[in-house]
Chain A
């Protein structure tokens, strides 16, 4: 059964098309990743599916309920962990959870029992009576994950759950997400622009770019699409004509002075490539990663689209326009 299904979901802001007739099906019970650079439409997708913003046209079903016509039923079926902290830091962890239980009309005994359960799930029992302002970033994220689970939602949305966390906290959050996927009967949908996160957690992922789904499959299947190993060479003037004649080279792309070759059985065929290529300054071989998959489908590397990179790019564009 599909826990989420979108039908030509479209969202426009003035002249910007944030979601371009999105059609997506997500099966119940899996951890689903929505991968894309900043501004690709991940958060807009999430905000629309959680009824916080209305689509311009098209619709979607979450847990069988229509997001436009039955927003209240949709809201009861979902939990969400927002990208930015959304707990009240003057209240304690416990009070934030209690408030959430009240907002969702949970009966008192069930609420108190559930608070204990979710606090245990994210290991915050000891800190429950501390004000949230005394929590670390990772603890606060954990509290908000616990809060999202309070009312037994069918789907939990996580918007960039590890953004801005140090590697250790990130590892920690991943463990909790894996753990709760096993413990609770729940579908998890997370947006991210971290490849490791998708690789580690997601059974299935959609690559979203400019408001469109450009690929949808399991991480391993997507990597298989690359169809070979990735050889990255630094070299002056690679003779592309010669290279293309090799039957084992499936694809060649050049980026930032580096050549990315997709090679079948790279370890056996490398010698031939070297002989034909001439003087190679450096070489790197690896099996395909999601980064390669992303490059394959969007023609860009995801890291170029990080906030810093994007900003730098814009500055460069401004300069060259002058």
Chain B
């Protein structure tokens, strides 16, 4: 029971902070919209992929991108916690480090889920208004998408926290994550289809776990995909579990 209370406590704090930092919420919504409208709209006026307008085609990829960036950057808050010594207050409490880690994941996942919810609603509205031509999905697709984004965010938040648990400075964290973020994002096929890639590129996209998240979301929202939904879901779930296990070890070894 202590551990559950501890997890709730950690989540409570993360959520309060999230609600109070309005700029974080706004930035996490505005950036993906800019990608959709300007990048997607610009290319979409000339390009379509397998009969789908490019702007519509990248919508699932942009959802994943949004969750990827905010989830991994969530790890920087543990670096700040260490800097202001708040981390000591948490570490000296009578709860296990695993509970602290899980509380943090739930905290980060909550942020990403709220962000996903808003972006999905915006997708529906933009589709209806014709701003993103041909984007249409129903309630079931909406909820399955949320589940996919939830599984994705747990693994990405964990990666951010693992890096954060090792870092002394926010600058160091930024440096490491930017090295990591762009390859993961570009290789995931968020911005292009992965069925006709050159031989050197294809294997790289297949080892990127995010590829399967993008593919599953494309399946659910656009009805086009490379793999079956159950295969995609299997891969991203397995990946999340592995990363969470690694994360609990990283937190166990974390220095004060």
Residues of A within 8 A of B (CB): 47, 50-53, 72, 75-76, 78, 80, 82-91, 95, 98-100, 102-105, 147
Are B85 and A52 in contact, with the CB atoms below 8 A? Answer: no
Are B92 and A80 in contact, with the CB atoms below 8 A? Answer: yes
Within 8 A of A (CB), among B6-39: 6, 8-10, 12-13, 16-17, 20-21
Chain B interface residue count, CB cutoff 8 Å, equals 25
Classify the secondary structure of A's interface with B: loop
Min CB–CB distance B160 → chain A (angstroms) = 19
* Inter-chain residue pair count (beta carbon < 8 A): 73
Q: Which of these, B84, B90, B94, contacts A84 with CB under 8 Å?
A: B84
Interface membership of B5, Cβ < 8 A: yes
Give A193 to B121 CA distance when docked, in angstroms.
Answer: 59
Are B17 and A103 in contact, with the CB atoms below 8 A? Answer: no
Are A87 and B17 in contact, with the CB atoms below 8 A? Answer: no
Are B94 and A86 in contact, with the CB atoms below 8 A? Answer: no
Q: Can you report 15 A-B residue pairs in the complex whose CB atoms are below 8 A from each other?
A: A51-B92, A52-B88, A53-B256, A75-B93, A75-B94, A78-B92, A86-B84, A87-B86, A88-B13, A100-B93, A102-B8, A102-B9, A103-B95, A104-B94, A105-B6
Give A312 to B16 CA distance when docked, in angstroms.
Answer: 45
Interface membership of B91, Cβ < 8 A: yes
Min CB–CB distance A224 → chain B (angstroms) = 38
Question: C-beta contact mask, B58-93 vs A, less than 8 Å → 1, else 0?
Answer: 000000000000000000000000001110111111
Q: Identify 17 new A-B residue pairs, CB closer than 8 A, beyond the known A95-B13, A99-B9, A103-B9.
A: A47-B256, A52-B91, A52-B256, A53-B256, A78-B92, A82-B88, A82-B89, A87-B86, A88-B17, A91-B16, A91-B17, A99-B13, A103-B90, A103-B93, A103-B94, A105-B2, A105-B5
Are A90 and B92 in contact, with the CB atoms below 8 A? Answer: no
Give A85 to B84 CA distance when docked, in angstroms.
Answer: 6
Chain A residues with Cβ below 8 Å from B139 are none
Min CB–CB distance B110 → chain A (angstroms) = 16
Interface membership of B199, Cβ < 8 A: no
Interface membership of B175, Cβ < 8 A: no
Chain B residues with Cβ below 8 Å from A78 are 92
Interface membership of B140, Cβ < 8 A: no
Chain A residues with Cβ below 8 Å from B84 are 84-86, 88-89
